């Protein structure tokens, strides 16, 4: 039986960002986003729907949802101080419009500013997968696709880059670092005395699961040289090293873990019909990079340490490598 402490969702590391927990944050996504944010420690949360209700003149794409008559001016609505993007929303045009409105207005969508504020309000995004595999024959849009839309709209409107305070979830280094922290907590709870030297990361998506595991492996190798940004291109926040200070991650995750082995399974986004290839570098060299804008493409990062058929084989492989079988 898996306990809640053993499960890491894409948004779980937001617990580390206590500097935003007292701020008024706009949250976007599906499901109980307000409850999720509050469970992570955020005290003042505004949903897209609440913002739309407070400012009915903002959401104008769907003609059937436009107000029939001019509403009274909005009063008493709190100033938004940051944005949390949990996952892809249902009505993309509404979320894209209102998020852009908040960024351009410095958190006051009813205001009319002379100049576009830049740097803009802090944006924290969870889950960067461009695509994901469902029952359809071809992969489906993920939150990474929504982020791509938001980034390009913001740049087209302002001429400037949308910046992230943090990008969380695979392949972000902070997510793997948080996972290591929780693994060590679990080991301590179980009474394990031997230090953990090696982690195994299993996934079906080379562009997120394998990329992230290999990026973290590079991080572990270069940590002693304080090169926290290994593999990150343009946004220093992509790896969010500043989050390590919370929960004393540096003290709890230091020195023992030496590597993170990536294991690619063939039951999801990545599939093969022939025998398991011995070397994936050739097939990834010319692959279109589906990763996020702020992570550079390096063919070696999407080349798995191992390729197996399914998760069961991945577990057996780890047992074999650790001489547990």
pLDDT digits (tens, 9 = 90+) for 218-240: 999 887 555 444 444 444 344 44
Give the separation between CA 186 and CA 225, rounded to whole angstroms: 28
Given a cut of 50, whether residue 172 has pLDDT beyond it is: yes
Compute the average pLDDT of residues 294-300. Answer: 87
**In 3D, which of 302, 306, 303, 309 has the Cα closest to residue 318?**
306
Per-residue pLDDT, 3: 64
Q: In the chain, how long is the greatest CA-to-CA distance?
A: 72
15: helix, coil or strand?
A: helix
**In 3D, which of 11, 15, 16, 14 has the Cα closest to residue 31?**
11
Range in 14-28, 80-94, 167-181 with the lowest mean pLDDT: 167-181
**In 3D, which of 216, 209, 144, 205 has the Cα closest to residue 173?**
216
Q: Provide CB contacts within 8 A for 142, sequence distance 6+.
A: 88, 127, 128, 129, 130, 131, 132
Range in 108-112, 251-255, 306-310 with the lowest mean pLDDT: 251-255
Q: The pTM is what?
A: 0.80
Per-residue pLDDT, 229: 47
* C-beta separation of 278 from 217 below 8 A: no
Tell me which residue has tokens 């693994």: 183
Please, what are the domains in the chain?
Answer: 4-69+77-167 (3.40.50.1000), 192-229+254-322 (no CATH)
Q: Where are the alpha helices (DSSP H) in 32-172?
A: 33-39, 48-54, 92-104, 143-158
Per-residue pLDDT, 213: 96
Give the separation between CA 158 and CA 87, rounded to whole angstroms: 24
Range in 35-44, 155-164, 175-184 with the lowest mean pLDDT: 175-184
Encode pLDDT of 142-169 as tens digits: 999 999 999 999 999 999 999 999 999 9
């Amino acid at each position: 039986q898996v306990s809640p402490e053993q499960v890491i969702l894409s948004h779980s590391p937001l617990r580390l960002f206590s500097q935003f927990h007292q701020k008024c944050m706009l949250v976007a996504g599906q499901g109980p986003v307000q409850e999720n944010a509050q469970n992570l420690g955020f005290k003042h949360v505004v949903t897209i729907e609440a913002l739309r209700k407070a400012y009915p003149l903002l959401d104008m794409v769907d003609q059937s949802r436009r107000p029939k008559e001019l509403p009274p001016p909005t009063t008493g609505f709190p100033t938004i101080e940051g944005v949390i993007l949990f996952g892809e929303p249902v009505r993309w045009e509404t979320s894209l419009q209102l998020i852009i409105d908040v960024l351009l207005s410095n958190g006051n969508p009813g205001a009319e500013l002379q100049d576009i504020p830049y740097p803009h309000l802090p944006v924290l995004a969870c889950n960067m997968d461009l695509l994901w595999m469902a029952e359809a024959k071809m992969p489906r849009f993920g939150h990474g696709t929504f982020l791509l839309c938001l980034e390009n709209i913001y740049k087209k409107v302002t001429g400037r880059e949308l910046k992230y305070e943090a990008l969380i979830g695979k392949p972000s280094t902070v997510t793997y670092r948080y996972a290591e922290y929780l693994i060590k907590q679990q080991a301590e709870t179980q009474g394990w005395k031997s230090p953990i030297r090696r982690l195994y990361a299993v996934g079906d998506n080379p562009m997120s699961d394998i990329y992230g595991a290999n990026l973290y492996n590079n991080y572990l190798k270069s940590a002693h040289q304080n090169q926290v940004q290994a593999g990150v291109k343009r946004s220093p926040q992509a790896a969010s090293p500043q989050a390590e200070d919370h929960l004393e991650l540096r003290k709890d995750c230091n020195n023992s873990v030496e590597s993170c082995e990536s294991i690619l399974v063939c039951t999801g986004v990545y599939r093969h019909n022939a025998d398991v290839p011995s070397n994936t570098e050739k097939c990834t060299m010319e692959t279109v990079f589906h990763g996020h804008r702020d992570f550079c493409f390096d063919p070696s990062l999407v080349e798995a340490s191992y390729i197996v058929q399914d998760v069961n084989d991945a577990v057996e492989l780890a047992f074999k490598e650790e001489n547990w079988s």
